[in-house]
């Protein structure tokens, strides 16, 4: 007589390891390295999950588990009542996962015991369609896209660098984008500042940027700051953001932003362009050099003319701004290798990239251990050469 499902389940439970909700709760409380895998369907998962659990529906387990877990990781699988997770645990054992267990009683027993649960961010059908190319990347997926939608990035400047960065971060679904710029759209901007249009000439750049970003993605909330960044307002403006993209075009603002980011522990993704050359790097407080390590003192004004004085190839800010946006997305998602400690330069005439190693200055007045950060008069600092 062929075995029934009950017979099959009984045999499976003899082969696998089951753990109680008390045991799993204790593991989580002790900080042990254990990965929880929710094998329920999407509608069940949307109602709540165990803290930090990754979602792989049972029907996709064999296909996606290698993207989410290593074979030597400790895995606890759970479903609603413990049946699907038991079958899934046996499957993973057959695939070579050696430290796999199933949560006895599943999510229902965990919830009945009033243990902590989380409400995961669940994308709408429209969002799943919009971000489909992100969702199929193992490094992003729905969890990563949810991170982006909850992230807050501040753009200093809605000009040549800020324009491409703003457009691509909005398209990628970064949930809140702040824009700091006191200028209005001018005809001479349109050669490189692709956020703006001829019809919006004379409008504040922050309003023009807001219109452009919201037209691309209604998921994005744009926060305009139509003011010049100063010592008096920098902490207020930076306070609510996760990281900053420096698209400034003058040295006082760059030094101010650097010092404020070190003071507040904010990542600062720096970019700059000059004629046919550009550069980009990431300053991460406590993990690498800062802008003052790279440039301890500002150059004399005659050696550092602005774009208005020296000119710039129109496409160059687009390239550098997109590299800044790429760095921002990697930091927000926690993937890849950032440009911390590396300066990437680009020569447009020769079409050449070059990478330079950056070292932290042990005597840096801002980021050296024990240094006390004070926001100063940066106009005077730059006018006197530091």
Concatenate the DSSP letters of all residues of 355-367 into one string: EEE----TT-TTT
CATH of 151-383, one of 3.40.50.300, 3.40.640.10, 3.40.50.620, 3.40.50.720: 3.40.50.720
Crossing angle (nearest 10°) for helices 83-94 and 5-15: 60
Q: pLDDT tens-digit profile of 196-235?
A: 999 999 999 999 999 999 999 999 999 999 999 999 999 9
pLDDT at residue 301 in the model: 63
Residues of the chain with CATH 3.40.250.10: 5-120
Backbone angles phi, psi at 246, to 5 degrees: -85, 105
Q: Nearest-CA neighbor of 59 among 81, 34, 42? A: 42
Q: How confident is the model at residue 304 (pLDDT cuts 50, 70, 90)?
A: low
The pLDDT of 10-21, averaged and rounded, is: 93
Coil/strand/helix, residue 88: helix
- What Cα–Cα distance (Å) separates residue 232 from each residue in 227, 252, 300? 11, 14, 25
Protein fold of 5-120: Oxidized Rhodanese; domain 1 (3.40.250)
Neighbours of 242 (CB within 10 A): 16
d(CA 106, CA 115): 12
**Candidate from 65-69, 72-76, 228-232 with smallest mean pLDDT:** 65-69
Residues of the chain with CATH 3.40.50.720: 151-383
What is the 3-state secondary structure of 46-81? HCCECCCCEECCHHHHHHHHHHHCCCCCCEEEECCC
Total residue count of the chain as it appears in this document: 386
State pTM to two decimals. 0.82
Q: pLDDT tens-digit profile of 105-161?
A: 999 999 999 999 998 888 999 999 999 999 989 889 888 999 999 999 999 999 999
């Amino acid at each position: 007589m062929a075995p029934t499902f009950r017979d099959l389940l009984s045999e499976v439970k003899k082969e696998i390891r089951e753990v109680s909700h008390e045991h799993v709760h204790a593991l989580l409380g002790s900080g042990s390295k254990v990965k929880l895998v929710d094998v329920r369907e999407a509608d069940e998962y949307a109602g709540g999950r165990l803290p930090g659990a990754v979602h792989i529906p049972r029907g996709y387990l064999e296909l996606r588990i290698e993207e989410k877990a290593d074979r030597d990781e400790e895995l606890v699988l759970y479903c609603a009542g413990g049946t699907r997770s038991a079958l899934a645990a046996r499957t993973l054992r057959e695939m070579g996962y050696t430290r796999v267990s199933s949560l006895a009683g599943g999510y229902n027993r965990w919830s009945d015991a009033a243990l902590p649960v989380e409400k995961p961010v669940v994308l709408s059908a429209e969002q799943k369609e919009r971000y489909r190319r992100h969702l199929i990347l193992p490094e992003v997926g729905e969890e990563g896209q949810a991170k982006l939608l909850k992230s807050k990035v501040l753009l200093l400047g809605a000009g040549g660098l800020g324009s491409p960065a703003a457009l691509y971060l909005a398209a990628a679904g970064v949930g809140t984008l702040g824009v700091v710029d006191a200028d209005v759209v001018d005809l001479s901007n349109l050669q490189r500042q692709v956020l703006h249009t001829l019809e919006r000439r004379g409008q504040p750049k922050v309003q023009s940027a807001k219109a452009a970003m919201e037209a691309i993605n209604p998921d994005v909330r744009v926060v305009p700051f139509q003011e010049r960044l100063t010592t008096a307002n920098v902490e207020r403006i930076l306070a609510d953001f996760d990281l900053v993209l420096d698209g400034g075009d003058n040295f006082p603002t760059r030094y101010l932003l650097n010092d404020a980011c070190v003071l507040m522990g904010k990542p600062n993704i720096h970019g700059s362009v000059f004629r046919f050359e550009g550069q980009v790097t990431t300053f991460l407080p406590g993990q690498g050099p800062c802008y003052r390590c790279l440039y301890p003192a500002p150059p004399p004004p005659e050696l550092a003319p602005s774009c208005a004085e020296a000119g710039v190839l129109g496409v160059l800010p687009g390239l550098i701004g997109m590299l800044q946006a790429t760095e921002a997305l990697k930091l927000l998602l926690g993937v890849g290798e950032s440009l911390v400690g590396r300066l990437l330069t680009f020569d447009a005439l020769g079409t050449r990239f070059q990478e330079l190693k950056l070292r932290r200055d042990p005597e840096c007045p801002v980021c050296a251990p024990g240094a006390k950060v004070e926001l100063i008069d940066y106009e005077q600092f730059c006018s006197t050469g530091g």
